[in-house]
Structure 1
Amino acid sequence: MTIAPTALGYDPYGFAETHLSSAARAVLTTLAAALDRDVTPLMRDAWETATMPEGVLGVLIPLDLMNPAGVDEREATSSMFSGFRTLVLARADVSVATLYNAQSGLFRATVALGGSREQSARMDGAIRSFRLKGVFALTEPDHGSDIAGGLATTARRDGDTWIIDGAKRWIGGAASADVLAVFARDVADDDVKAFLVPRTAAGVSIRNIDGKVSLRPMQNGVIDLGGVRVSEEDRLQGIDSWRDVTAILRTMRSDVAWIAAGLQSGSLEAAVRYVTEREQFGRPIGGFQLVQEKLARMLGNTVASLGMAVQLSARQDAGAYDDVNSALAKLQTARLARETVALGREVLGGNGILVEHDVARFFADAEAVYSYEGTHEINSLIVGRGLTGLSAFV
């Protein structure tokens, strides 16, 4: 048996065939082909320049991946379909997956789950088509892991408007968004609320974070908010507490596990391609025992991560959302991703640090995935609390 990647990455146990309809697989195969043909060739230069090519969204938007033709609506909105979509995107480049998911995942979910029925109905079509681009602005310069209790951005009611003061950090795509979904603490009741703030509103300033060694093409921003006025109509009416924010985050937690699985598949594909072409001592290095042992470990990690992501999405689609399951999947798949990309870099030797061979992109991006959407330590404490019934949080 020859183990070869499909358009959806390495999947020797047939998870995609088991859990996706033929129509959904066809959509994702088309996506994979578009990425391979039109996006991946752009990403090497994008890494050098630390910029996101303008053509990336131009390739993705026409595919209508949030409402794909021929796919049943229930499947198209499922965690399973969006998970495999994320895997295919991350298999090409993690920044591309992050860019798309900033819109299709957290921002769309924030409006759908946090807005009123009227707000959601009015905006969802524009969000799906990218006519209205938005981002999820929660993390702050001084608050990441402790954001639940430490959120410092404030909102003060003044008649029919709100005045927002504070700052947000690590907000992907902020500089190109139309609106920012800003989470702020109401000074009157100390509860968290959310506001759709126009990027061009008076008092909003955005600057990109430079000097990153991971997610280089993705433009992460710092948002400063000084006396920004937002109408009550632009407050998301369904978010009145941190519990409401958690409900939104819970629906998106599986995304990181899928990204971790996807980047491993991309790294393995690049490594196999290299070792079958690169010759030393008169033959391809892919025929050496030590190289094959590393490749086998990479495949094992990749498939294990995929299986965990699939089962997490299956449970979520069945209505079983569990913070322990999400935390376990995130910490394990991100940990395995780190090992997988390190093995990939090893088998390429010195060439493993060159962007032109692709493995280096995945190697660097695994560090970002390991830390964002809950650090390894925070997720470990969630799992530990589930195991013991005792909280180790301070």
Structure 2
Amino acid sequence: MGSLGGGAGAMVGLPALDVALAFPQATPASLFPPAVSDYYQFDDLLTDEEKALRQKVRGIMEKEIAPIMAQYWEKAEFPFHAIPKLATLGLAAGITKGYGCPGLSLTANAISTAEVARVDASCSTFILVHASLVMPTIDLCGSEAQKQKYLPSLAQFKTLGCWALTEPDYGSDASSLRTAATKVPGGWHLDGQKRWIGNSTFADMLIILARNADTNQLNGFIVKKGVPGLKSTKMENKIGLRMVQNGDIILNKVFVPEEDRLPGINSFQDINKVLAISRVMVVWQPIGISMGVFDMCHRYLKERNQFGAPLAAFQLKQEKLVRMLGNIQAMVLVGWRLCKLYESGKMTRGQSALGKAWTSRMAREVVSLGRELLGGNGILADFLVAKAFCDLEPIFSYEGTYEINSLVTGREITGVASFKHAMSAKSRL
């Protein structure tokens, strides 16, 4: 019997062809398609400044990120070399004002989040963690000294941050967290574990939320990278947002000086001020993902020929494309209205929860239809839709699962909380 040669670890066959050569009939997402999903001309609702920012973000994402996203997604690595390019988007500070921050409107930040997610959801999550969790936590809950010390460098991505609330035993039930903060001379000792924390494997600073051992209230702390007792390891084997570096964090008597305790965090209600901002941004991530999928399918159906005609000429294909388009129009309108409610000080937790639950559910239909429209190429990350299909799944669950956000809205409209399962009550037997 002849030998295969090279041993068991040798590559069998030649390297894969570039997708543009292997499948020349349709353009891959590395050359991103034109934006064509604004069918109801929602762009008219934006100010000139917001339109200009959208175009800037769109141009940078299409030019700098689209050509590399499938490669890094496949490797589950983050393109650190692209951070300076992402910094030029001007989104690192979010809506924070002063301290070297541009102070974007919430609407400007939201539509920009969608533009980033349109091309790559992982990059939008990287920015969201930093700009819509870390930045507002320091801005809303930090001391003046902390704001002056940290915000200017965070606003330019010169310092990178992460935000650690979720624990292995407490996801949806986040307010029951068990990571402990114990007062010691000169500061605090943090002990516990966090999980699913985006950017945590490389962040220069970590916002750690912990329970005060004396008061049992929630407190917040700024923890520096590399301090003794802190360990963050990358979570492996994710099927979505693969470029995002989610981490497991272990805290073993991590000392935090008193000057790095966030004085404005003394209960979960204080954290809700931050989550109100981030949840609006998360509403716009499924919108952006859906926009990108629609744009890709729109171009693909016109380029790809079968049975002697472009796929766009077939009735079933057109119906699915129009259903996707209708979903996007409705999603944008809900997202835009949510921004205006927040900016006018009228947004409730139930309204933001409904927005996140509903847009992520509608986007699931959009990406599923897109997967069908592309046939076999719908399972290749090169044509965006497979990647977007997977990336939407973690977004469907983070910042409150569909079910939990639905119950937040349900509690608000009925006045009755339904979170606790009947079995959680003590048995009378």
Normalized against structure 2, the TM-score is what? Answer: 0.86
Contact kept, 8 Å, 1:8 with 1:28, in 2: the verdict is no
SS of 1:227's partner is: strand
Specify the alignment match of 2:142 in structure 1.
115
SS of 1:176's partner is: coil
In 1: Cα distance, 2:34 partner to 2:145 partner: 39
Contact kept, 8 Å, 2:188 with 2:256, in 1: the verdict is yes
In 1: Cα distance, 2:89 partner to 2:332 partner: 24
Asked if 1:13 corresponds to 2:52, the answer is: no
Specify the alignment match of 2:4 in structure 1.
none
Q: Residue 54 of structure 1: CA displacement?
A: 2.0
In 1: Cα distance, 2:35 partner to 2:181 partner: 44
Aligned counterparts, 1:75-114, within 5 A: 76-114=103-141
In 2: Cα distance, 1:9 partner to 1:77 partner: 25
SS of 2:201's partner is: helix
Q: Residue 8 of structure 1: CA displacement?
A: 6.6
Contact kept, 8 Å, 2:132 with 2:274, in 1: the verdict is no
Larger Rg: 2
| Structure 2 runs not aligned, ≥5 long | 1-31, 421-429
Specify the alignment match of 1:147 in structure 2.
174
In 2: Cα distance, 1:391 partner to 1:251 partner: 23
Contact kept, 8 Å, 1:196 with 1:234, in 2: the verdict is yes
Contact kept, 8 Å, 2:93 with 2:154, in 1: the verdict is no
Q: Residue 136 of structure 1: CA displacement?
A: 0.7
Taking a change above 3 Å as real, the CA distance of residues 58 and 199 of structure 1, as seen in their structure-2 partners, is same
Asked if 1:36 corresponds to 2:62, the answer is: yes
Contact kept, 8 Å, 1:9 with 1:91, in 2: the verdict is no
Q: Residue 234 of structure 1: CA displacement?
A: 0.4
Q: Residue 66 of structure 1: CA displacement?
A: 4.9
Contact kept, 8 Å, 2:232 with 2:247, in 1: the verdict is yes
Contact kept, 8 Å, 1:8 with 1:87, in 2: the verdict is no
Q: Which amino acid aligns with 1:217?
A: M
Asked if 1:355 corresponds to 2:381, the answer is: yes
Q: Residue 25 of structure 1: CA displacement?
A: 1.6
Specify the alignment match of 1:278 in structure 2.
304
SS of 1:308's partner is: helix
In 1: Cα distance, 2:57 partner to 2:355 partner: 25
Specify the alignment match of 2:91 in structure 1.
65
In 2: Cα distance, 1:358 partner to 1:229 partner: 44
Q: Residue 9 of structure 1: CA displacement?
A: 6.1
Normalized against structure 1, the TM-score is what? Answer: 0.94
- Choose which of 334, 341, 345 in structure 2 pairs with 1:308: 334
Contact kept, 8 Å, 2:60 with 2:89, in 1: the verdict is no
Specify the alignment match of 1:242 in structure 2.
268
Q: Residue 226 of structure 1: CA displacement?
A: 0.5
In 2: Cα distance, 1:93 partner to 1:131 partner: 22
Q: Residue 47 of structure 1: CA displacement?
A: 1.7
Asked if 1:210 corresponds to 2:236, the answer is: yes
SS of 1:171's partner is: strand
Taking a change above 3 Å as real, the CA distance of residues 76 and 11 of structure 1, as seen in their structure-2 partners, is farther
Specify the alignment match of 1:341 in structure 2.
367
Task: Please say which of residues 381-390 and 77-86 is displaced more in the overlay.
Answer: 381-390
Q: Residue 7 of structure 1: CA displacement?
A: 7.1
Q: More helix by proportion, 1 or 2? A: 1
Q: 1:131-188 CA deviation, whole Å, 9 max, x = no partner?
A: 221111111111110011x201000001211000001111111111101000000000
Taking a change above 3 Å as real, the CA distance of residues 22 and 134 of structure 1, as seen in their structure-2 partners, is same
In 1: Cα distance, 2:157 partner to 2:44 partner: 30
Taking a change above 3 Å as real, the CA distance of residues 65 and 376 of structure 1, as seen in their structure-2 partners, is closer
Taking a change above 3 Å as real, the CA distance of residues 134 and 64 of structure 1, as seen in their structure-2 partners, is same
In 2: Cα distance, 1:330 partner to 1:12 partner: 22
Q: Residue 75 of structure 1: CA displacement?
A: 8.8
Contact kept, 8 Å, 1:327 with 1:382, in 2: the verdict is yes
RMSD over aligned CA atoms reads: 2.1
Task: Please say which of residues 373-382 and 122-131 is displaced more in the overlay.
Answer: 122-131
| Structure 1 runs not aligned, ≥5 long | none
Specify the alignment match of 1:382 in structure 2.
408
Aligned residues: 386
Taking a change above 3 Å as real, the CA distance of residues 8 and 247 of structure 1, as seen in their structure-2 partners, is farther
In 2: Cα distance, 1:320 partner to 1:121 partner: 30
In 1: Cα distance, 2:101 partner to 2:414 partner: 37
